[in-house]
Amino acid sequence: MDFDYGEQAEAFRHELRAWLATNLDPGWRDHVDVVDSEASEDILTNEWIKEWSRKLYEAGFKGIHWPAEYGGRGLSLLEQIVYAEEMFRADAPPAGNFLAETLVGPTIIHYGSDEQKKRFLDPILSGEELWCQGFSEPDAGSDLASLKTRAVLDGDEWVITGQKVWTSLGHIADYCFLLARTDPDAPKHKGISYLLVPMKQAGVTVRPLTQISRIAEFNEVFFDEAHCPAENVVGGVNNGWKVAMTTLGFERGSSVTTQALRFRRELEAFIEIAKSTAGAGGRPKSEDPLVRQELAKAYTAVHIMKAQAYRSLTALIEKGDPGPAGSVNKIFWSEYHRWVTELGMSLRGFEGQVIGPDYALDAEQVAYLFAKSETIWGGTAEIQRNIVGERILGLPKEPKPQ
């Protein structure tokens, strides 16, 4: 066992740290009024953050682990981790094209053709093209493979008809990575293709749906004979299920490395609240043995996430694919986060329930409500347990319907 990142990674750390010292205004929060959450519309559309993203891109600090020939930095996963650590350390703004950088980008790198890599990767890193994920449908959520959206090849174009739902950021996205049925006669997992579809076209209608935070961040997306070029299929026609599983693997597994850092900061804020608010007998809540127990449990969980991340990372470096172990991480962090944000709200008491006009929420309130969805999106906590049971433990499947 060895936590030494090695010379190359440390040199990169050095370089990035120096660059941040001269280029990041530590008072950036004064110009940017966004609620801190990586994938929020606020972040993607805020002019200051867009400019910051662009600056990172131009300085070569985007796509650290992506191939250099497609606009990335061509370094190893270790440098990617170092990057996350340093950004955290410098309290840098959340920047980037989250869904694209974490989901479709890595999927294209894994399965895409050379042309696809050339066409799509660089605009993801530069932030020129935003993406959304078109997987779920009204009748195909957990049972994703039962999706009904059809794509039919017409000359050199796919013609797409159907409906997607819960499409995060669909209303601002330029492209959608979409699953469509391309062979209706094949068994359900075998007739699906993974398509890259432009959103700004006549056949696509986006209808926003409001979340429990009153923010309209996801959408219904209707495809009515929408088009995309025939070559925009990733990983081969009717091979989309396999490609989608890779994307979901990234969704469940890869972000765990940076997650522990974010959770650490959030927990520090809760600890501050406990120290600065009075509890029973007027003493700080942090002196309450029950609160101490809970906060110590939270600290333990964040520490375990970090250690677990190192182990996952080791496996990822060796095998190149997070695999089903990503499900273990997803269950752990999503359930932790649901619990700890509830704890945070309990510590704040009444005050934590007071919001601004027009349902304006602060970052902790958003996190508390949004945590309710983290055990749902990317595969629900129940589905992740099924995956752990069946794919890791090899337990028999639940009985099929008669």
Partner 1 sequence: MNFAFTEEQEELRKGARSFLENYSASEQVRALMETDTGYDPDIWGRIGAELGWPSLIVPEEYGGSGFTYVELIAVMEEMGRALLCAPFFSSVCLAGNALLVAGTEDQKQEHLPGIASGETIATLAYTEQNGRWDADGVTATAKKDGSDYVLNGTKTYVIDGHTADLLVVAARAEGTAAADGVSLFVVDAGSAGIERRKLNTMDMTRKQAEVKLSDVRVPAANLMGNEGEAWDSMVKVLDLAAVALAAEQVGGAQKCLDMSVEYAKVRVQFGRPIGSFQAIKHKCADMLLEVESARSASYYAGWAAAEDNEELPVVAPLAKAYCSDTYFHCAAENIQIHGGIGFTWEHDCHLYFKRAKSTEIYLGDATYHRELLAQRIGL
Cβ-count burial of 54 within 10 angstroms (0-12 exposed, 13-18 middle, 19+ buried)? middle
Between 212 and 241, how does the x/- string for binding to ligand FAD read (CB under 6 A)? Answer: ------x-----------------------
Asked if 297 is part of the footprint of partner 1 (rule: CB under 8 A), the reply reads no
Determine the Cα–Cα distance for residues 283 and 385; give it in Å rounded to an integer: 41
The site partner of 219 among ligand FAD, partner 1, none (C-beta below 5 to 8 Å per kind) is none
Instruction: From residue 235, give the alpha-carbon distance in Å to each of 108, 113, 192, 194.
Output: 8, 8, 11, 7
Kindly tell me which residue out of 141, 324, 344, 378 binds partner 1, with binding defined by CB under 8 A: 141
Closest CA to 193 of 232, 240, 157, 150: 240
Cβ-count burial of 10 within 10 angstroms (0-12 exposed, 13-18 middle, 19+ buried)? middle
Asked if 142 is part of the footprint of partner 1 (rule: CB under 8 A), the reply reads yes
Return the residue nearest ligand FAD (CB atom): 141
Name the phi and psi angles at 352, rounded to 5: -70, -15
Site for partner 1 in 11-70 (CB under 8 A): none
Asked if 327 is part of the footprint of ligand FAD (rule: CB under 6 A), the reply reads no
Kindly tell me which residue out of 50, 288, 377, 388 binds ligand FAD, with binding defined by CB under 6 A: 377
Nearer to ligand FAD, 102 or 286 (CB): 102
Q: Is residue 269 a contact partner of residue 364, using CB atoms and an 8 Å limit?
A: yes
Separation of CA 220 from chain center: 19
Catalytic residue annotation: 251
Kindly tell me which residue out of 8, 45, 210, 276 binds partner 1, with binding defined by CB under 8 A: 210
Q: How near is the Cβ of 372 to partner 1 at its closest, in Å?
A: 5
- Exposure pattern of 366-386 as b/e (b: 16+ CB <10 Å)? bbbbbbbbbbebbbbbebbeb
User: Could you list the residues that contact partner 1 (CB under 8 A)?
Assistant: 136, 139, 141-143, 146, 165-166, 209-212, 214, 278, 280-282, 290, 338, 345-346, 349-351, 353-357, 359, 361, 365, 369, 372-373, 375-377, 380-382, 385-386, 398, 400-401
